[in-house]
Every structure is written in C-alpha cells, then in structure tokens.
Structure 1
Amino acid sequence: MDRKRATLIGLAAIVLWSTMVGLIRSVSEGMGPVGGAAMIYTLSGLLCLVTVGFPDIRRFSPRYLIAGSVLFVSYEICLALSLGYAATRAQAIEVGMVNYLWPSLTIVFAIMFNGQKSTLWVIPGLAISLLGVCWVLGGEQGLHLDEITRNIVSSPLSYALAFAGAFIWAAYCTVTSKFAKGQNGITLFVLLTALSLWVKYALSEQPEMVFTLPVVVKLVMCGIALGFGYAAWNIGILHGNVTVLAAVSYFTPVLSAALAAAVLSSPLSFSFWQGALMVCAGSLLCWYATRK
C-alpha cells in the first residue's frame, strides 16, 4: 500500500477514536452506563472480527494473553463507566480529559519497566500534563483547589475510574510492547470486554435500555469508531509514517474534547481548552524526551 495513503488511514483512526467520549456518553444516557457499554463493545467486537479477524491464541505468550486481557478489559470498563457515571455531559468531557493522562504515563512506564532511554524533559512533561488536568477540573476558575475538590466530590466514582484507567492503559501499552511479539489480540480483548459488561449487567440492578432512533444511531457510530478504528490504525502503523502518526496522536485530547462538545451540545470554557492544550503539550514533551 502507498505510504501516504496508509498514513491518511492511520490519521482517520485518530479521528474515529476521538469521537468515543461523546458517543459513549450519548449511548449511556439512553441505555444506562453498563448496558450501553455492553452494547457498544458487543458491536465493536463483531466489527473487529470482520476488520481485524480473530487471533490464533496458541501463538500468544501466556504473559501477553493473561496480562493483556485483564488490563485491556479493565481499562475499557473504567473508560466507559467513568463517562456513563458522570453527573453531567460537561463533566463527562472533563472525565475524558483525565483519561488522557495515559500518553505521558505510558512513556514514564516505558522508562521504568522497558528500559526506554530518555532525558530529564520527561519530568516537566508529566508535570505539565497533570497541571492541565487540574486546570480542566477547576472549571472556569482554572487552577482553583476548592472548585477542583467540589468537582471531584460531586462524582467521585467517575473521576476515580478515569484516573485508574489512565494508569491501566499505560500498563497495557507497556505489557503489549514487551510481551506481544507481533501478535494482536484486540478482537479477543474487545469481545472479553463485552462479555464482562454483560455479566455485570445480568448480576446487578441496571436501568432499562431504551432503543430510540438517536441512541441506536450513536450506538452504531460508536461501534464503527472502535471497530474500524483499530483496523485503520494497524494499516497506518504497518505501512504509513509512524512518526507523523505518533506526533498527531498527542493532539487527540483537544480533538476528542471538540468532537464531544459538538456531539453532546455542551460548550466548554476557555480555561478547559487551556488545560487540554497543557495535557497535549505535556504529552508531546514526554515523547520528545525519548527522541533525544
């Protein structure tokens, strides 16, 4: 495949994934946090079967199979439920920004556990990302401790899940880099996520799922974004310009927030965008620290 075309397909994956925050929240409002997430990952898993295919598990190392499965499923559940449990749409977008600590954390984990070489620029990079998240949580006040505290207390489970998810995904990326050995278990992992959510849905009291046309449309869009996103990303990584894809991916927090604000009809404050740009800048600085 032509390298330029493959790079464009990889960039399309970034756009598709950037729609996830707004779409997951929209589906959760109609079908409930757990039921909506179960439907999303069921549809996504079926699409992954078509676009990526089911892997030959016999080729997986036990470490990748077990650790990869547990970490991926845990992360996706944390992400989906953190968005679904958020008190408001605006808060869901803020929670999504907390989740985007993972790029900086992934680089820190790679340095700590995979022997990745870096410069000391990684320290201010992580600090800027954390500052950006705090800036977002401060609402229109920016970096304001009382407002940050009120925000978190209003929906502690949602923020805790998002924060935990950032660490879990960083761990997943580290494990994949170290133990995958060229294998891709994404289809299996997505299907396991769906199964886990259906088990939770069956064993706990959940609101009734309401299948209105707008919700079903967004469910299909979300399934496509996740299912085709992984296929597009694989093409980009295998045949495209990886440096371009890596650099652009660090601007995902801003793109994700913009698309979520549009999907959810939830305008965001100027201080939110300041914080989002800080998260991007911090992630880029961490990435730059490993390039020297």
Structure 2
Amino acid sequence: MTSQKATLIGLVAIVLWSTMVGLIRGVSEGLGPVGGAAMIYSLSGLLLIFTVGLPDIRRFPGRYLIAGSVLFVSYEICLALSLGYAATRHQAIEVGMVNYLWPSLTILFAILFNGQKTNWLIVPGLLIALTGVCWVLGGENGLNPGEIISNVATSPLSYLLAFLGAFIWATYCTVTNKYARGFNGITVFVLLTALALWLHYFLTPQPAMIFSLPVIAKLFTAALTLGFAYAAWNVGILHGNVTIMAVGSYFTPVMSSALAALLLSSPLSFSFWQGAVMVCVGSILCWLATRRR
C-alpha cells in the first residue's frame, strides 16, 4: 500500500469520528455510560474480526503490544465515560471539545519523543488551542474563570476524563508510530476495551439497559462507525503520513460539534463556535511549526 493511499484512508477515519460524540451520548442515555460503551465496543470488535481479522499477537513487538493495549483501552474508556457521565447533552459536546486537544498534543509529543523538527509557532499554537477549550467551557461569557470553574464543577469527572484522554491518545499515536513496525493490533485493542468495560459493568452498580428503536439504531451506527474508523486510522498511522492526518484532524472539533448538535438536538452558542475555531487554529499553528524552516 502506498503512503498516499494509506493517508487518504486515515483521513476517512476523521470524518467517521466526527459523528461519535453524538452517537456515544445517544447510546449512553438508553443503556447507561458503562453498559452503552460496552455494547458499542463489543459490536465494533466483532466487526473488526471480520473486516481486519484477528492478528497473531505473538509476532507483535512487545513494547507496541503492551503500551498500545494499555493506552488504547485507557483512552476509549476515558472518552466513552466522559460523554456518558456528562450532566447534559450540551455538556457532552463541551466534553468532546476538551478531548480535541489531542491533535496539538500529538504534534507536541512527536517533537518531544520522535525528533520532529519545530519552531516558535508551537508555543502560540498550544496556547490558542488551550484557550479555545477554556473559551468553550466559559459558556456564553467566553473566557470567564468563574464560569469555567462553575461549569466544570457540575460534572468534574467528565471533564477530567476527557482531559486525560487527550494526553493518552496523543501518547498512543506517538507509541504506535514509533514501535508498531507495521503491525496492526486494532482488533485486539477494541476487544480488550469491551472486556474492560464489561468487567466494570458487572462488578459495579449500573443502571438497567433500556432498549428502544432509536437507541438500537444509534448503537449499531456507532459500532459500525467506530469499527471502520479505527481500522482506517490505524492503516493511516502505520503506513501513511501522520502529520497530514493530524492536519485533517484539526478540523474535527467543528465537524464533530456540528454533527453532535444535530444528533442531540442541542443548539450551540456563538461563543462555543468561537472556542471551537480557536482549537482548530491552534492545532494548525502546531502543524505549521513542524513544516516551516
């Protein structure tokens, strides 16, 4: 497979991912945060068995298998539960925006750990992206510390999980690119995520799953989307241009927010869109920091 084709496949994953905030939240409202996520990843894992296949993990580099498994499972649990535990649908979209710090962090980690060349633009890029997230959390008042604290205090676990998830996913991308050596463990990683979520579901008190036609439709849509998205993303990371894929992902905050607002019937304020654009601009500056000489 050529690098150009692999990169294009990776970009398709970004489009698919843009629907996930709305879909995961929709499923969690009927099946619960943990139960809904467990169902999504179980179905996605089954899909990947038939589309990607089960690899022979004995051939995997040890660092990739161990670090990749831990990081992937940790990230997926952080993302799914951050959306499910959000107090409202609007807050779930805000939590999704916090998670979109990862493109900037991916570039930063590539610089710190993979020897990526950079320049001074990385500093304003990171600051603008972080400011954009804070702007979103400030609600109608934009960058207002009091409003940010008050907003986060209503559902601190959701925001903490999303923030940690951004760092974890950036680390996963860095580790995969450095240690995978062309191996693709996505099927194993998704199945491990499902297993971890089911263990959490059965070992802790959880709300009953309430199935309805809308929830079932969102469940199967989310599972199909997630399965194909991660299969495509891993192809891009393993064989494509990670920097170009990161550029494409910089526009995900806007696409994801628009689709989530549509799926969840939750209109967003002008201040929210200002913050979303700032996250995109900051991420693009981070990319430019690696391109200019």
Give the shorter-chain TM-score range: over 0.9
Q: How does 1:201-280 map to 2 (within 5 A)?
A: 201-233=201-233, 245-280=245-280
Cα contact 2:107–2:287 (8 A) shared by 1: yes
Tell me, in whole angstroms, the C-alpha distance in 2 between the residues paired with 1:286 and 1:95. 22
Deviations 1:237-267 (A, max 9, x none): 7888877644322101110000000000000
Displacement of 1:73 in angstroms is: 0.2
How far does residue 235 in structure 1 lie from its aligned partner after superposition? 6.0
Deviations 1:18-66 (A, max 9, x none): 1000000000000000000000000111111122211221221111111
1:46-97: CA deviation from partner (whole Å, max 9, x where unpaired): 1111222112212211111111100100000000000000000000000000
Query: Over residues 118-165 of structure 1, what are the superposed CA-to-partner deviations in whole Å (9 max), with x where a residue is unaligned?
Result: 111111110000000000000011111111010000000000000011
- Unaligned segments of structure 2, at least 5 residues: none
Structure 1 window deviating more from structure 2 (193-202 vs 40-49): it is: 40-49
After superposing the two structures, state which structure 1 stretch, 224-233 or 146-155, moved more: 224-233
1:106 equivalent in structure 2: 106
Identical aligned residues as a percent:
74
Structure 2 residue aligned with 1:68: 68
Alpha-carbon distance change, 184 to 236 in structure 1, aligned in 2, over 3 angstroms: closer
Shift of 1:233: 3.9
Q: For 1:107-256, what aligned pairs fall within 5 Å after superposition?
A: 107-233=107-233, 245-256=245-256
1:10 and 1:169 map into 2 onto residues whose CA distance is 15
After the TM superposition, list the runs of 4 or more consecutive aligned residues in structure 1 that deviate by more than 3 angstroms: 1-12, 231-246
Please tell me whether the aligned partners of residues 32 and 206 of structure 2 are also in contact (alpha carbons under 8 angstroms).
Answer: yes
Residue deviations 1:186-214 (CA, integer Å, cap 9, x gap): 11000000000000001000000011110
In structure 2, the CA distance between the partners of 1:238 and 1:258, relative to structure 1 (3 Å rule), is same
Q: Which amino acid aligns with 1:72?
A: F
- 1:279 to partner: Cα distance: 0.5
Moved more, 125-134 or 174-183: 174-183
CA distance in 2, matches of 1:41, 1:183: 21
Structure 2 equivalent of residue 54 of structure 1: 54
Give the total of aligned pairs.
Answer: 292
176 and 84 in structure 1: CA distance in 2 versus 1, 3 angstrom threshold: same
In terms of mean alpha carbon deviation, does 265-274 or 102-111 score higher? 102-111
Aligned residue in 2 for 1:89: 89
Question: Which residue identity is paired with 1:50?
Answer: F
SS of the residue aligned with 1:267? Answer: coil
Partners of 1:266 and 1:116 lie apart in 2 by 40
Q: Distance in 2 between matches of 1:3 and 1:178?
A: 16
Query: Can you give the 5+ residue segments of structure 1 that lack an aligned partner in the other structure?
Result: none
Deviation at 1:8, TM superposition (A): 6.1
Q: Describe the shift of the 1:82–1:239 C-alpha distance in structure 2 as closer, same or farther (beyond 3 A).
A: closer
- Kindly tell me: are residues 7 and 139 of structure 1, through their superposed partners in 2, closer, same or farther at Cα, counting changes over 3 Å? same
TM (norm. structure 2) is 0.94
Q: Distance in 1 between matches of 2:122 and 2:135?
A: 20
